[in-house]
Structures are given as structure tokens and as C-alpha cells.
Amino acid sequence: MERREPTQEDIARQRKHSIGLRSTQINRAVLTQGVYVFDATVTDKGDDLSTVVSIIPEKASFATPFAIYHAESAIAADAFGKALGAHRIPANFKHDSFEFPLHRKVSTSCNFSLSGKKLTITMHGTPRRTVMRGLKLDSRVVYFLRLTETLGIEIRHGDQTCYFGTIVQEGSGISRPALAAHRGTVNAGIREKSKDWERVNPFYESVFVGGDDSGDDHTYVGYATRDREQFPRGATRSTCMHCAAATSLTIEHCTPKWLADRLAVTPVTAKILCEPCNKTFGAELEDPIAELYDTKMLTDPAHRILVSRWAVKTAIMLSAVSNVSIRQELFDFVEGRETDSSVSVYWCDNARSLLDSGYHYVVTKFRPELAADSFLFAMSFGATSFVVARTPTELGTLPLIDRWAPSFLPGQASGEDIKIHDWIMRNKFGVDLYYGGYRDRPAQKR
């Protein structure tokens, strides 16, 4: 069978996001290698793969080395895919179904090694067998291979992708694909010259090939005390998250400014609202709630609806900077429009304080197959604690915290000392949260 050269469509797709492209004829096939580069605003990256993570949204560039093996036949594609420990791709596979050309599972069959600018891929076993030896690489590809120790492999025959795999460098000990990240959007200097890239691990496996069937629910923790703080900084949008106006955005105090001032801690701020929406929320919610706080009237039954609307608005803002999708039903609730009972607000004014000062909040980003369109947020400051939830079915009565919306339900008595967000995740969603170390920082001077 005649060896197939890459088509112009192949080349265009590769060049759109690639640098250092080079094609080589090997074993009666063509191997194209390079570095895949693009930019995005992300929160879900870091060194630690714990379930509960810190949140650092920023505009960043990402890169990963890749190779495309154009096999001369379906049999050759199968043989090479099996040799590399790659994973067969379904016939209806689409290239827009993932963000990075890496399979979420690292090959256990082989590794690669580098000698200068030459790549060798070796199969495990006795005796060890070399699959590919001395493949010459562009210097930029070598830079990213040494940094990430990760190589994506796509195996194609004709117009169809047959396999995707991920190979890591021998001796690296990597069990999950790594990427290179760089602050700022992609430009020629960052892409082709910068040596300031860093290795990161995405927390969400859905960015990889084969990641759509993996667990993607993650819980984020943010807090600010007078000594330490951990929360997102520098988050921004191109349009207002409320009215979608494409105009210059103002700085929204996601942690209300009046609350941060009274607690003497740093608020979470972000450019996510236009000026009219920001002013409207301030006049209708923040100003009256600040007065209720000062007069110790937050828990007065006459103000439950207003306080509940404010709680949902605060939950929306702090969740938005954590890259959590916000359903329209939540905004409907904030604006006092009639909503179904899927939105719930719980409130407690004698909660055990989680911090010696300041505020603390927790938000979960759900994978669709666990809880489609669900939302869960909890916040505490002093002895006050509240929960905002949107769920397919009502959460009902919860321990130690009263439900204020959609209707009043007193909380259940409990002898346990519980974290309410964790309790809901465990008892309502069947998910146990495991807390990793926090990467906080000294509190900013005020």
C-alpha cells in the first residue's frame, strides 16, 4: 500500500496552534512532531493533584510536545498503537472534543529518552525493544520535552485518527500528563523564545483525550484572615457576566467591600461586571445588607428574602472567579423574580467559626454526570454561616442550619461538629472531600 503523506488539511490543523513542526519518514510512515500552543483563562492548574485546591485564575499560555504518526495502513496503525500502549479512538472522534493532544492515561508500555536533540522511544520488557531511535527534533520541541517530560502521540491512517497516547520520559515517575504554562496570552516571544515556562498539572482530565469519562468535580477553598489569605486575584472577563454587555468592566468586590472593611481583611475583587450592573447590585443589595449587619438585624425574619438574595449574589460572584458556570436561575433569584424550588438558601447565626478572623468560603465545580447544572457554595464569617445550592431535587432539612428559601425549615439537631459543605457533598452527592495543603500568602496590608 502506498505511504500516505499528510494532507494540506492536516498541515493547516497542525500549524494553527503549533511551532517547531518537522516531518520525517520512518518505517514506511511519516512522523510529524512539534509543540501545540494556545492560550486560555484558567483556574484549574497547579503542582498538587489533591481534590480540594486553591484557585488562581489568570490568562495563560499552554504548550505540550506532540507527534503524529501517519501509518501506511490500518494494520500498521494498530501495530504501532499497541506497541506504544496508546488508546483506540472511536470512529466518531472529533478534534474539537479536547483541548490538549494528550491521552489522559500515561502509557505503561514504553518511555522516551533524549540525547541532545534526538528522541528515542523504548518499549518495556525483557529484552527492551527500541520502537524509534535517534529522531532529530527542533530545539524548541526539545525545550518543552525536557520541561514537561510528556509527549502526546496521535496515530492516523488516511483521514481517521485511530489512536491517542501519552508517553513520559524514562525515570520521570509521572503518572499523569503534564503541560507547560506561561503567564499571558500567546505571542511570538512567549511561543518561540521565552524560557520562563513552568510545568503544571491540569486538575480537570476532560481537557485531555479520553477525559470525558473521568471524574471532574472539584472543590475550591478561599479565605482571608488578618494574617494569611488564599483566593483568586486578577480574574477578568470580556463581557459583563450579568447582562453580557461588551463594555469596559468595573472592579466588582466579590467579597462585599463593606464586609471586608468591617472584618479588616482583603476582599476578592475581579473585573466581571459592567458599571450599571455593579451600581444596581450595590444600591439594591449591598447598602441595605450592610445596614442590617451593623444593626444586628440580618437574622430578622422580616428580612429573610432580602438577605437570601444577597447571599445568592455573593455566592455567584465568588464562584464566578473560580471558573464555575452560573445558571440563569441563580440570577433570577437575586433579582427577585419567581424561580422554582431548585435554588435553596440556608442560614445560621451561631456557627462555629472556622477562622480566628476574616471570612472563609467553599465552592464545588461539578462534573455533568454527577450532578448536571448543580451549584453548591458555603461561606462563613464570624458566627454567621450560609449555604447556597441549586440541585435537581430539594436538599430538604440539613443539620444545624435553617433553610430560609424557598421556604423556612428549621435545621436538625446534631451532636456532630460538622463542616456543612462537606456534609452535603457526602450525604447528598456521595462524594467525600480530601483536603490537600493550601498555598496561601501573607495578608495584604490595608
Q: What is the pLDDT of residues 143-152, one digit of tens each?
A: 999 999 999 9
**Range from 54-58, 239-243, 394-398 carrying the lowest mean pLDDT:** 54-58
The pLDDT, as a whole number, for residue 268 is 94
The pLDDT, as a whole number, for residue 52 is 40
Share of the chain above pLDDT 90, in %: 39
Q: Does the pLDDT value for residue 282 go beyond 60? A: yes
- Contact call for residues 102 and 150 (beta carbons, < 8 A): yes
Q: How far is CA 228 from CA 352, 353, 421, in A?
A: 20, 16, 22
- Split at pLDDT 50, 70, 90, the class of 361 is very high
- Split at pLDDT 50, 70, 90, the class of 274 is very high
The pLDDT, as a whole number, for residue 332 is 92
For residues 371 and 434, what is the distance between their CA atoms, to the nearest angstrom? 19
The single residue listed with the C-alpha cell 464555575 is 324
For residues 217 and 56, what is the distance between their CA atoms, to the nearest angstrom? 17
**Range from 39-53, 111-125, 336-350, 374-388 carrying the lowest mean pLDDT:** 39-53
Give me 269's grid cell: 475583587
**Range from 18-27, 189-198, 246-255 carrying the lowest mean pLDDT:** 18-27
| DSSP category for residue 107 | P
Q: Does the pLDDT value for residue 384 go beyond 90? A: yes
Is the dihedral angle over the CA atoms 433, 434, 438, 443 positive or is it negative? positive
The pLDDT, as a whole number, for residue 372 is 63
The pLDDT, as a whole number, for residue 185 is 78
